[in-house]
Amino acid sequence: MPPKRKAPAAPKGPAKAGRASALSTPGPATPRSIENSEGVSGDEEVEVTARELEMEAEADEFVASWDLSNERFQNHSQNRHFDSASTHFGNKGQRDYSFLRLRPDHNNRPLWIDSRKGIIILEKFNPAAAMAQDLLIAIAEPKSRPAHCHEYQLTPHSLYAAVSVGLEPQDIIGALDRFLKTPLPGSIREFILQCTKNYGKVKLVLKENKYYVESADEQVLQNLLKDPVIGPLRVHTGSNAITTSYAPTMGGLVIPGTNNAVGVQQASGLQPGENKAVEGAKTNEADVYASLNAEDDDEEKATIHAFEIPDSAVETVQHRCLKLDLPILEEYDFRNDYVNANLDIDLRPNTQIRPYQEKSLSKMFGNGRAKSGIIVLPCGAGKTLVGITAACTIKKGVIVLCTSSMSVMQWRNEFLKWSNVAEEDVAVFTSDSKHKFKGNTGIIVTTYSMLNTTTKRAHDTQKMIDFLSGREWGLMLLDEVHVVPADVFRKVISTIKSHSKLGLTATLLREDDKISHLNFLIGPKLYEANWMELSQQGHIAKVQCAEVWCPMPSEFYDEYITGRANLRRTLSAMNPRKFQACQYLINYHEARGDKVIVFSDELYALKTYSQKLQKYCIYGDTGQSERMAILSNFQHNPTVNTLFLSKIGDTSLDLPEATVLIQISSHFGSRRQEAQRLGRILRAKRRNDEGFNAFFYSLVSKDTQEMFYSSKRQAFLVDQGYAFKVITQLANMENTPDLAFADPSERRELLTKILSDYIAAGGEMEQDKENDDLFGKERRTKKKKGVRRTAGTLGELSGGQDMAYVEQNKRAGQGGRKAKPEQSAFFKKLAREKERKKLQMREALQ
Ligand SMILES: Nc1ncnc2c1ncn2[C@@H]1O[C@H](COP(=O)(O)OP(=O)(O)OP(=O)(O)O)[C@@H](O)[C@H]1O
């Protein structure tokens, strides 16, 4: 039975006072994830299997990383009491949480905690939920945020991020304890203290172009100075004192586009008149609010101790501090940087940034300095403006790194649109354009690949890179930060010297294990917005998601069962019932006045569908001017309402007219691709129209691998609170006029054509060579036949292969073409074998 996704049912109300027995706590009182992650069978488990395996692994890691586990389990077993129900929860009662005592006023408190895994469940319907949510976003990783219950996890990284935005361990413990329905378990308290003990203790600050290692704790610095590596690196400035060599500038900073000094509202999330929770919890919440916001004041009063280190020693000190378990946080005191030229840039007077954009920036500038880190906002929520506002706050040289030449142009245009920066101060560095800005400082927008070329560079490219690496930048903006491999970052970061780094992304997820690298290479996650909240507030569109099951006619299914993987993919996409569903949905939505984008990774299907339905289509080989013309028609011509797109439109495509998305073929189980494709309709212009909904249909051939991948792909969006409805039958589809492949003979004809095209293509249907750079330089216009071999990983199969990897593979392929090695006897034999099989198939068909 294929997985079926839906949002959890509405809670039946909080548990009664007393023991938190799993039996006595219906709905949210029995956290779904806790039960499931431990193997409770049934429908629920089937629904979230992939997610749960992931959580299980994380939980194991969490427990494994914990050296207090023995004590924890001892406490647990001492306090545990078994009753007749305990045995129902298996594993010697380890799933029985009844040993946690509920507080008498637990109804007023919105949080449950799993003392063994650090998983926190938030009751979204609780009056105090908004306050608790702000705390959780600051201290824990959001795992799943459907409508009624949210799931977070405490991890060392999330606690690191909490400390980096100024929270003290005792603030975290105190606030968490106040929101919990049960007293804070000792194990969690220990874990928080353990993880936060050293984070944020040491900072690296650049002031008046000198690097200082800074700490509020004198003893920590004294210990560092005794270290055989760091000690000798200290720059002696006459006296040996390490007490305040300067007064840090705090507070009073106003982020452009807002009326507030940063930090004033940063952790509150409170809107005027918003319900401040139930009576009983009021005082406590006020304290929490105060403690979350008190960071600026506290820091202002603290005495800062610092010693200077030379520029050349920065990396050594960073590395050594990490080894000493004292990760060093990077902060840029830009208001006291008198060495680097100021950039004349401000937001245009009519620009008003949105509350969540302000909130994310207040995390970055919370203490009047720029902290490096990552901001996560949904697709279409305005990450570009967040980056631009950060640049307008720092007002120093900015370097922006994007994933494609299209994004480069978009970033430049957005800088000019939202800010008053002079046109000549924003330069672009791509393979086509290598301009510098005119003045002392400015903005350079470029791509990761421009800075990461390993082959010999052209003279002007090398000159430009020398220019970029020869100066200090105030801010490095890293767009789509999740797609870039760690080694590319290392290369970029070591080439370009920048005082602060801001990573921007919508989907901080990778199917490989590299996501944690970003924390150390860029900085902690500073803020992550909630997709559902933004859509309820009208900042992004509300979307109805549906998975449409399309049965395969038996003759297609016979071929599917016996066919090889490539043929199966093509047959799944070319399933005539899927074609009919697509035709029906296009007709239906065009008649409603919608504009429809149809996505297909399978190029053969893309071309066949668009030709048969007589719609425009854009893929890698479509010429630049043709692309622009088609897109312009789609936007402005009322007769062009549907556009077929290959994966090149996954990102970088800003078409606010599009309101419906149909996906006929996709990249295996890539959660990122699913979210990015959804992002194309989240920015729908009509999103604030009364009762407006955008539609996202994923057409899936029934009983094929597409069904497995489909549920995997949806996992991220389901965690953001999207519900995928399964449609097994489209009402009245048979009545569609001119429904394609309605006749069995037409379907047989289609199958014969697919099979013969497949054989003619040597068992390898043509793939779109270009990735998601819709407007990039025209590349590979020649049709390339044959198999392209690249190193494969498990991550690729599960969607982990990203654009940056593909670019690398492409280069590897190009390198191979230059010096084509002579074919060995083995490959000659393989080719002969292949030829023989082809002939056999042809004969079988005749
Ligand atoms: N504060 C704001 N006021 C008005 N419009 C805004 C604001 N912030 C963003 N927008 C608009 O929202 C749209 C989406 O912004 P943007 O392209 O930066 O999104 P994004 O988060 O980068 O999306 P993606 O991840 O899909 O690239 C743009 O048209 C932008 O002009």
Q: How far apart are CA 652 and CA 776, in angstroms?
A: 11
Taking the C-alpha atoms of residue 753 and residue 529, their distance in angstroms, rounded to an integer, is 48
Do residues 421 and 345 make contact, with C-beta atoms less than 8 angstroms apart?
A: yes
CB of residue 541 inside a 6 A radius of ligand 1: no
What percent of the chain clears pLDDT 90, i.e. is strictly above it?
A: 26
- What's the one-letter identity of residue 800? G
Indicate whether residue 483 lines ligand 1 (CB < 6 A): no
User: E strands within 479-521?
Assistant: 497-505
Distance CA 151, CA 110 (A): 12
Q: What is the pLDDT of residue 110?
A: 94
pLDDT at 181: 92
Distance CA 180, CA 80 (A): 19
Phi-psi region of 445 (alpha: psi -120 to 50; beta: other; left: phi over 0): beta
Atom index in ligand 1 nearest the CA of residue 479 equals 22
Which has the minimum average pLDDT: 212-216, 412-416, 449-453? 449-453
Tell me the pLDDT band of 159, cut-offs 50, 70 and 90. confident
Question: Which residues contact residue 137 at a Cβ distance below 8 angstroms, ignoring those fewer than 6 apart?
Answer: 527, 528
pLDDT at 695: 95
| Ligand 1 within 6 A of CB of 379 | yes
Which ligand 1 atom lies nearest to the CA of residue 679? 26
Residue identifier of the C-alpha nearest atom 11 of ligand 1: 382
Closest CA to 695 of 584, 578, 582, 594: 594
Closest CA to 210 of 332, 371, 322: 332
CA distances from 693 to 148, 264, 535, 638, 683 (A): 21, 35, 10, 20, 12
Distance (Å) from CA 532 to ligand 1 centroid? 16
Tens of pLDDT, residue by residue over 480-509, are 887 777 777 777 877 788 889 999 998 776
For residue 539, the ligand 1 atom closest to its alpha carbon is: 12
Which two structure tokens, joined as six digits, stand for 634? 């789609």
Q: Worst-scoring range by mean pLDDT, 264-278, 374-388, 410-424?
A: 264-278
- Residue 430's pLDDT is what? 86
**Antiparallel, parallel or unpaired: β 596-600 and 724-727:** unpaired
SS3 letters for 429-444? ECCCCECCCCCCCCEE
CA of 58 to the centre of ligand 1 (A): 33
Count of CB atoms within 10 A of residue 470's CB?
8
DSSP state, 238? S
Q: Who's near 368: CB < 8 A, 6+ residues apart?
A: 248, 249, 250, 251, 252, 253, 262, 296, 333, 335
The domains of the chain are located at 27-184, 384-538, 543-760, 802-845
Query: Which of the pair, 730 or 263, is modelled with greater confidence?
Result: 730
**Tens digits of residue pLDDT in 802-840:** 322 222 333 333 333 333 444 455 555 656 666 666 666
* Average pLDDT value for residue range 782-805: 32
- Does ligand 1 lie within 6 Å of residue 381's CB atom? yes
Would you put residue 248 in left (φ > 0), alpha (ψ -120 to 50) or beta? beta
Spatial distance between the Cα atoms of 603 and 573, rounded to a whole number of angstroms: 10
382 three-state secondary structure:
coil
Q: What is the pTM of this model?
A: 0.70
> Cα 518 to the chain's mean position, in Å?
12
Do residues 327 and 230 touch, judged by C-beta distance below 8 A? no
Which of 376, 385, 406 has the most ligand 1 atoms within 8 A of CB, as the residue to mutate? 385
Q: Among 171-175, 309-313, 486-490, which range has the highest average pLDDT?
A: 171-175
710 lines ligand 1 (CB under 6 A): no
Q: Which residues of 493-525 are buried (b: 16+ CB within 10 A; e: fewer)?
A: beebbbbbbbbbbbbbbbbbebeebbbebbbbb
Spatial separation of the C-alpha atoms in residues 257 and 379, rounded to whole Å: 21
Tell me, yes or no, if the two domains 384-538 and 543-760 fold the same way.
yes
Helix runs in 664-739, H state only: 671-682, 705-719
Model confidence at 52, pLDDT cuts 50, 70, 90, reads very low
What DSSP assignment string belongs to 54-102?
Answer: HHHHHHHHHHHT-TTHHHHHHHHHHH----TTGGGG-GGGTT--TTSBP
User: In 3D, which of 346, 341, 350, 349 has the Cα closest to residue 420?
Assistant: 346
Angle, nearest 10°, between helix axes 156-164 and 169-179? Answer: 110
Query: Does the C-beta of 382 come closer than 6 Å to ligand 1?
Result: yes
Q: Judge if the beta carbon of residue 135 lies within 6 A of ligand 1.
A: no
Centre of ligand 1 to C-alpha 683, Å, is 8
Whether the Cβ atoms of residue 710 and residue 700 lie closer than 8 Å to each other = yes
Instruction: Please return the burial class of 8, using the count of CB atoms within 10 Å of its CB with bins 0-12, 13-18 and 19+.
Output: middle
Mean of the per-residue pLDDT values for the chain? 74
Question: Which pLDDT value is given to residue 517?
Answer: 61
Rounded to the nearest angstrom, the distance between the alpha carbon of 254 and the centre of ligand 1 is 22
CA–CA distance, 673 with 375 (Å, rounded to integer): 19
pLDDT band at 8 (very low <50, low <70, confident <90, very high): very low
Q: Which atom of ligand 1 is nearest to the CA of 410?
A: 17
Lowest mean per-residue pLDDT among 347-351, 353-357, 519-523, 564-568: 519-523
Of 109, 437, 133, nearest to 280 by C-alpha is 109
Beta bridge partners of 476: 399, 501
How far is the centre of ligand 1, averaged over its atoms, from the C-alpha of 541 (Å)? 12
* H-only helix segments in 69-128: 69-79
CATH for the 543-760 domain, from 3.90.380.10, 1.20.1250.20, 3.90.1200.10, 3.40.50.300: 3.40.50.300
Q: Is residue 27 in contact with ligand 1, taking CB distance under 6 Å?
A: no
For strands 660-665 and 210-215, give the pairing: unpaired
Average pLDDT over residues 76-91: 53
**pLDDT confidence of residue 834:** 64
Adjacent-strand bridge partners of 654? none
**How many other CB atoms are there within 10 angstroms of residue 484's CB atom?**
26
For ligand 1, pick from 375, 383, 384, 479 the residue to mutate: most ligand atoms within 8 Å of CB: 384
- Please tell me the predicted confidence (pLDDT) of residue 677: 87
Q: Which of 59-73, 207-221, 270-284, 636-650 has the lowest mean pLDDT?
A: 270-284
Report the pLDDT value the prediction gives residue 830, as an integer from 0 to 100.
Answer: 58
In the DSSP assignment, the letter for residue 177 is H
Largest CA distance in the chain: 93
Closest Cα to residue 772, out of 406, 411, 431, 377? 406
412 CB less than 6 Å from ligand 1? no
- What tens digit of pLDDT does each residue of 111-139 get? 999 887 889 999 989 998 988 988 898 89
Phi, psi of 696 (to 5 degrees): -125, 110
Ligand 1 pocket, residue 447 CB under 6 Å: no
Nearest of 244, 202, 197 to residue 221 by alpha carbon: 202
- Nearest protein CA to atom 23 of ligand 1, as residue: 380
Q: What confidence tens digit (pLDDT) does each residue in 324-358 have?
A: 878 788 888 888 888 889 999 999 998 889 999 99
Q: Which residues contact 827 (CB under 8 A, 6 or more apart)?
A: none
Show the beta-strand stretches assigned E in 289-362. 305-309, 328-332
The H-or-E segment that residue 580 falls in is helix 576-591
Ligand 1 in reach of 387 Cβ (< 6 A): no
In tens, the pLDDT along 230-267 reads: 989 988 766 555 555 444 444 456 666 665 544 333 33
What pLDDT is stored for residue 776 in this prediction? 39
679 touches ligand 1 (CB under 6 Å): yes
Calpha distance 748→750 (Å, rounded): 5
Question: Angle at the Cα of 501 (from 333 to 674), degrees rounded to 5?
Answer: 150
Q: Ligand 1: does its nearest atom lie under 6 Å from the Cβ of 539? A: no
CATH-assigned architecture of domain 384-538: 3-Layer(aba) Sandwich (3.40)
What is the identity of the amino acid at 213?
Answer: V
384 pocket-lining for ligand 1 (C-beta < 6 Å): yes
| Nearest Cα to Cα of residue 428 among 448, 449, 411, 453 | 411
Mutate to test the pocket of ligand 1, among 359, 361, 383 (most ligand atoms within 8 A of CB): 383
HSE value, Cβ hemisphere, 13 Å, CA-based, for 518? 29
Ligand 1 site-directed mutation target among 479, 657, 683, 688, most atoms within 8 Å of CB: 683
Q: How many CB atoms lie within 10 A of CB 595?
A: 23
Mutation pick for ligand 1 pocket among 504, 654, 803 (CB with most ligand atoms within 8 Å):
654
Cα of 415 to ligand 1 centre, how many Å?
A: 12
The residue nearest atom 18 of ligand 1, judged by CA position, is 382
How far is it, in rounded angstroms, from Cα 506 to Cα 511? Answer: 15
Q: According to the model, what pLDDT value does residue 270 have?
A: 31
Q: How far apart are the first and last CA of the chain?
A: 37
Residue nearest ligand 1's atom 8 by CA: 382
